[in-house]
Structure 1
Amino acid sequence: MKRASSFDDAVRRTYVLRGPVEARICRDSHGAAFKRSYVGTFSEIFGVSVRLSPLVWRRRQRVWHAAVAPYGYQVGIFVMARARLAFTARRSPVLGTKGAVASSQSLATHIGARILKRGGNAVDAAVAVAAALAVTEPCSCGLGGDCFMLFYDSSSKIVKGLNGSGRCPAELTLNRAMAETGRGPSETLPNRHPHTVTVPGAAAAWDDAVSKWGSGVLTLSQILDPAARLAEEGFPVGPVTAYHWNEGLAALDGSAGGGELRAPGERRAPRCGEVFRNPGMACTLRELGEGGQHAFYGGRVGRAIVEVLALAGGVLSMDDLAMHESTFPEPISVDYKGVRVFEVPPNGQGITALLALNILAELEQQHTRSPKLHALIWRAQALRLAFSDTRYYCADPDVVDVPVVQLLSREYARELSKLFDPQSACRQLQHGHPAAQSCTVSFQVVDDAGNAVSMVVSNYEGFGTGLVPTGCGFTLQNRGLNFSLDAAHPNCLAPSAHPLPFSLMSNRPYHTIIPCMATVAATGELYATLTNMGRFMQPQGHLQLLCHLLRGVDPQTAVDMPRFCITDIDGGRRVDIEDGTPDEVVESLRRRGHDVRVLSGHSRAQFGRAQIILRDGTSGVLWCGSDGRADGMAIAF
């Protein structure tokens, strides 16, 4: 990395170091501080230990600023008087004590905060935020997609799960899918094909969440009304949203209703700052609010879903919609460095993050006396090892036995950790590799009582199939892309062909959307609620964000830090690195055989968009971070 020309330049270009500092600061006759001698070691944000060159001290408004140049690359830090930790971020964390909301759209965040102030709890506010995001970011989520949720009940200190993913159509057999798409056992369904549409579960999930865990102060209609009015009256489209809306616009070409999500009277996407109205979505939200999920699946919207799919060659029926229901699985969890980390169990991929944390814990224990390695290398290898198993075994537990207990045992993590080579990227692993893209929304809510919600809603790939049920204002997801067409695979589209014992029901595909929550392991108190949307980036983001938080980094700095994403779409050893990561780290990865690609600009979407609310266990203060890679914000009060 090029040396910064000044301290201010260094702060703009780089990120934070932390660690103990030993220095003697002297003053000249005018009281100006200067450095007499220095001894110290910092840990760089990713964990590598470095020896620092002399500091150049300045004093500005009672804040000590330092610019340091370890091993030739520049790092800017802020050192508060007598403080041990030093940070730089693009903006400050948002702090509050009575409640907080963090999402990828500022209007959605405001709506969630208003629901809290009207007496709603975290669940009420979360559903209101989800609906507002469906309006303001239809290129990522909506009522044609699925929803996963974790709920922290402060009264019992228990984390509860909701799986709002839908099943494949009952009439869609493996043979039929392969014959009508021309795909073979080693392939997946075509991206936008109507056979990739599974029953959209978001509507039921929102209704069930409010019925089961809501405050009872507000009805579902009242909770959805702000989003309905937003759709009816219009909203200005944010810059990041405008970009992704335009990028995904071609998906709407195959649907007669695609014009509902284009600029009025034109075939283009709405531009940044342009006010967009979606009367169809407003009508849909009001019908859901007044009649609940049964009105949605069994009424006008359900009929429109079946009709648009039939015209496109799909086979989803009204019976498929009527049979859909949310499930409430007990979350799975592991302990890592004093916190208990929770994820929704399979068919969601949250198990990947937990297995990777177990592997990382083993690596950290085994290599304490090894030469210092960049922590990014450890984390990337832990995730690659975890994905090699979970991409194979993660399937619908109602249909196939998923070995969750075995996968999350420390003994198993210990065996996998033996495959780690500190000097080389992992060899080709058995069960395939994660792919990468980024099209989802996620958000966090904490209320005055200490309840918390982590929720993710998604169409999967942008607008999903791009199919718009007439007059409904949303697209249908293409989640079925994650089914395998291999009859011997646990995640096969046709469960009856699998040699393991199956039920006779339709199955749910491997699911990428995963909320995350962490509690203090010893007490059960809420530690943090977080997400990092972005398909297969999600478990990778969870691991990276948690590692930052557990090193003492505040939530806003944690989401601003450069991220990495292992992709390996072609079965190689690729690691995508975000621009801003030190050149030394990139070269260290390349020397070990990783195929490194540095991404900048809108390509950063690869790394997803994160939202965090962390609770200070002593003061109860809520610390919030909202990702600058999106159009959102955090509010706390």
Structure 2
Amino acid sequence: MDRLFRSRRSTVYSTKGIVSSTQPLANAAGTKILEKGGNAVDACIAVAAALAVTEPASTGIGGDCFALYYSAKEKKVFGLNGTGRSASKMSIDWLKKNHPQHIMPNLRFKSESVFKVTVPGAVAGWCDALGKWGSGKVTLADCLQPSIELSENGFPLSQCSADIWQGEVERLLQMNEKDENLKLFLPSEDWSAPKTGDVIINKPFAETLKKIAKGGKDGFYSGEIARSIVKELNKRGHPMTTQDFSNHTSTFVEPICYSFLDHKLWEIPPNGSGIVALLTLGLIDSLNRNGTIELKSMKHNSVEYLHLIIECLKISFRDSDQAVSDYEYFKKKFEADFHSDAEQLLSSKKYFDSRSSLFHPDHAITNKEMKEGVPNDMFKSDTVYFTATDSEGNACSFINSVYHGFGSCIIVPEHGFALHNRGGNFNLNPKSNNCLEGNKRPYHTIIPGMITTESTTNPAADEEELYATYGIMGGYNQPQAHVQVYLNMILFGMDPQEALDASRISLFAHPEHKKLSDRGEGSDGPSSNDITCVGVEDDLDPDVVEGH
């Protein structure tokens, strides 16, 4: 059933830290850790694990994660890429030879392909974030204990989680045998989804979490859990090996940023798509600087304002086809420094002025006519976001996902969780930087965000003051929402609750043109085919919608 959401929440304030997620039970888990003396990172790991229990259609240990960490002591922003890689034996040629039916004409995977499964990076990301940035006052076992208790004793299913769950029944039935493993997720006699308020118990998952609590990363990547995952995938024809699991590593990264309106928006560099938000701000900045628009005179969510946002996002998504890929992969294989290239791109007025020249205040850009614009040749749905701060002023912006509802919908026998299908964001075009290859990370839609200002006490020291830690869920909507919420707060002066509640637009690729005009480049995002659609929230002014 469709429900119109209208918030009546007021902004929450605290001097001892705040935990924010989609689930009160997960918030309680994070708060417990803060009360034990843990910091913002410790709290986020507890929240991540609790959401894996309470919202398994959206997240879990079968998925990936990213994190941004603001250190109040160092006054700097740090990043973690906790995403997994493809199987070492995987390639386009291997797929063509062994499973050509999984390759669609638009050079994407078929919808329910097992080969979309990559090594899950979430557990390593949790452990590595805890080890590098955690307080040291709580253990991994402490952080996982609330989730173990939720799994063993049961929890009442929330309305939002139940709605998502209901929508994935057909896929769960399609991808699994009707046995005790599937019964954990479809517990009714008629194999239907649980309903709002139903108490969910998943004791196999509790035992899985206990193994991770005891063994840490090795408990997931080098033991029984990894062997069970590989066995299930191999049974379905996937070339994943236990060596692929034992070789997995997280990557600590230097975040990228764009400075606009005296604030900086920070994002994880590619293979995450946060650069789309930064490119969009850069285009708006260029148009404002060159006098094409007068940003500060625009009214919030007016026709001209939304036209500006939509057109700049279209250009940014088009350029992300080149700019978003696995930078670490290319550095190891070709010694190519894509990270420096990305930083140069974000500081290039020439690039932004050139691309912003495509903007016209009176008509829309057509994707068919819009050419790629990144000057350097080297570039050629369901998720959970949560964040926490602590009494010392540290902040952690964290996102964890299995991609589509229950990811691949492939349940790991006797372990109580499903594997993600993030590899579906690879394309199968060998000319693309984001093409499928072995030991490679795909284009990622999940992105945590953070906003800072320059230090007022010591501006020469290259220090940052935290302004906001935030993120918005929803596939390709995420960088779009980052831009809109950023401007809501910085340009229009909204408080955090108002900025999140304000009506937004979201671009997506026309579904009927995916096979007709998909270029097979980059991701299958909003600018991937000839026609970009614009989704609007229900309470956006109808006159504005008609006016656009």
Task: Place the TM-score, normalised by the shorter chain, in its bin.
Answer: 0.7 to 0.9
For residue 91 of structure 1, the aligned residue among 9, 22, 36 is: 9
> Is 2:129 the partner of 1:186?
no
1:146-165 pair list within 5 angstroms: 146-165=64-83
Q: Offset at 1:184?
A: 5.1
Does 327-336 or 363-372 show the bigger shift?
Answer: 363-372
Tell me which protein shows more helix as a share of its residues.
2
SS of the residue corresponding to residue 168 of structure 1 reads coil
Q: Offset at 1:149?
A: 0.4
> Is 2:209 the partner of 1:285?
yes
Any conservation in 1 of the 2:276–2:320 contact (CA below 8 Å)?
yes
1:558-569 pair list within 5 angstroms: 558-569=499-510
- Paired with 2:371 and 2:148, the residues of 1 have a C-alpha distance of 48
- Paired with 1:583 and 1:491, the residues of 2 have a C-alpha distance of 39
* RMSD, matched Cα: 1.9
- Paired with 2:372 and 2:225, the residues of 1 have a C-alpha distance of 39
> Is 2:458 the partner of 1:513?
no
- Paired with 2:200 and 2:190, the residues of 1 have a C-alpha distance of 12
1:534-553 pair list within 5 angstroms: 534-550=474-490, 551-553=492-494
SS of the residue corresponding to residue 124 of structure 1 reads helix
Does 216-225 or 261-270 show the bigger shift?
Answer: 261-270
For residue 412 of structure 1, the aligned residue among 324, 328, 351 is: 351
Equivalent position of 2:520 in the other structure: none
Provide closer, same or farther for how the CA distance between residues 377 and 298 of structure 1 changes in structure 2, counting only shifts above 3 A: same
For residue 462 of structure 1, the aligned residue among 380, 398, 405 is: 405
Equivalent position of 2:321 in the other structure: 391
Does 359-368 or 307-316 show the bigger shift?
Answer: 359-368
Bigger Cα Rg: 1
- Paired with 2:350 and 2:153, the residues of 1 have a C-alpha distance of 57
- Paired with 2:493 and 2:96, the residues of 1 have a C-alpha distance of 51
Any conservation in 2 of the 1:185–1:484 contact (CA below 8 Å)?
no
For residue 123 of structure 2, the aligned residue among 194, 203, 208 is: 203
- Paired with 1:271 and 1:546, the residues of 2 have a C-alpha distance of 36
Q: Offset at 1:396?
A: 0.5
Any conservation in 2 of the 1:252–1:467 contact (CA below 8 Å)?
yes
Unaligned runs of 5+ residues in structure 1 are 1-12, 16-88, 433-437, 495-504, 590-637
Q: Which letter maps to 1:134? A: A
SS of the residue corresponding to residue 318 of structure 2 reads helix
Q: Offset at 1:399?
A: 2.5
1:515-534 pair list within 5 angstroms: 515-523=448-456, 524-534=464-474
SS of the residue corresponding to residue 148 of structure 1 reads strand
Equivalent position of 2:459 in the other structure: none
Q: Offset at 1:264?
A: 5.4
SS of the residue corresponding to residue 269 of structure 2 reads coil
Q: Which letter maps to 2:352? A: A
SS of the residue corresponding to residue 412 of structure 2 reads coil
Equivalent position of 1:127 in the other structure: 45
Q: Which letter maps to 1:390? A: S
Q: Offset at 1:265?
A: 4.8
Does 350-359 or 266-275 show the bigger shift?
Answer: 266-275
Any conservation in 2 of the 1:181–1:189 contact (CA below 8 Å)?
no
Q: Offset at 1:307?
A: 1.1
Provide closer, same or farther for how the CA distance between residues 266 and 232 of structure 1 changes in structure 2, counting only shifts above 3 A: farther
Equivalent position of 2:525 in the other structure: none
Any conservation in 2 of the 1:236–1:275 contact (CA below 8 Å)?
yes
Q: Which letter maps to 2:495? A: D
- Paired with 1:407 and 1:587, the residues of 2 have a C-alpha distance of 36
Does 326-335 or 294-303 show the bigger shift?
Answer: 294-303
Any conservation in 2 of the 1:252–1:466 contact (CA below 8 Å)?
yes
Equivalent position of 2:521 in the other structure: none
Cα-to-partner distance string for 1:3-28 (whole Å, 9 max, x where unaligned):
xxxxxxxxxx999xxxxxxxxxxxxx
Equivalent position of 1:308 in the other structure: 232
For residue 299 of structure 1, the aligned residue among 223, 233, 245 is: 223
Equivalent position of 2:532 in the other structure: 573
Q: Offset at 1:367?
A: 2.8
Any conservation in 2 of the 1:207–1:220 contact (CA below 8 Å)?
yes
SS of the residue corresponding to residue 363 of structure 1 reads helix
Any conservation in 1 of the 2:288–2:294 contact (CA below 8 Å)?
no
Equivalent position of 2:167 in the other structure: 247
> Is 2:77 the partner of 1:145?
no
Provide closer, same or farther for how the CA distance between residues 266 and 390 of structure 1 changes in structure 2, counting only shifts above 3 A: same
> Is 2:52 the partner of 1:109?
no
- Paired with 1:116 and 1:533, the residues of 2 have a C-alpha distance of 24
- Paired with 2:356 and 2:542, the residues of 1 have a C-alpha distance of 27
> Is 2:364 the partner of 1:425?
yes
SS of the residue corresponding to residue 78 of structure 2 reads strand
Equivalent position of 2:377 in the other structure: none
How many residues align? The count is 489
Equivalent position of 2:292 in the other structure: 367
- Paired with 1:375 and 1:199, the residues of 2 have a C-alpha distance of 41
Q: Which letter maps to 2:270? A: P
Equivalent position of 2:155 in the other structure: 235
Cα-to-partner distance string for 1:163-199 (whole Å, 9 max, x where unaligned):
0111100111211223404215732112221110010
- Paired with 2:208 and 2:124, the residues of 1 have a C-alpha distance of 13
- Paired with 2:188 and 2:242, the residues of 1 have a C-alpha distance of 31
- Paired with 1:361 and 1:576, the residues of 2 have a C-alpha distance of 24
Greater RCO structure (CA 8 Å; 6+ sep): 2
Q: Offset at 1:280?
A: 1.4
Equivalent position of 1:489 in the other structure: 432
- Paired with 1:109 and 1:542, the residues of 2 have a C-alpha distance of 22
Provide closer, same or farther for how the CA distance between residues 406 and 234 of structure 1 changes in structure 2, counting only shifts above 3 A: same
Q: Which letter maps to 2:342? A: V
> Is 2:203 the partner of 1:263?
no
Q: Offset at 1:406?
A: 4.0
Identity rate of aligned residues, in percent? 40
Unaligned runs of 5+ residues in structure 2 are 331-335, 374-380, 457-463, 514-528
- Paired with 2:100 and 2:411, the residues of 1 have a C-alpha distance of 21
Q: Which letter maps to 2:532? A: R
Q: Offset at 1:249?
A: 2.0
- Paired with 1:245 and 1:184, the residues of 2 have a C-alpha distance of 27
Equivalent position of 1:218 in the other structure: 138
For residue 274 of structure 1, the aligned residue among 198, 216, 219 is: 198
Cα-to-partner distance string for 1:218-249 (whole Å, 9 max, x where unaligned):
11011100011111111111111101011012
Taking structure 2 as the reference length, the TM-score comes to 0.86
Q: Offset at 1:541?
A: 0.7
Any conservation in 2 of the 1:335–1:521 contact (CA below 8 Å)?
no
Tell me which protein shows more strand as a share of its residues.
1
- Paired with 1:491 and 1:106, the residues of 2 have a C-alpha distance of 37
- Paired with 1:14 and 1:237, the residues of 2 have a C-alpha distance of 19
Does 341-350 or 362-371 show the bigger shift?
Answer: 362-371
Q: Offset at 1:391?
A: 2.5
Q: Offset at 1:431?
A: 5.4
Any conservation in 2 of the 1:185–1:487 contact (CA below 8 Å)?
no
Equivalent position of 2:276 in the other structure: 352
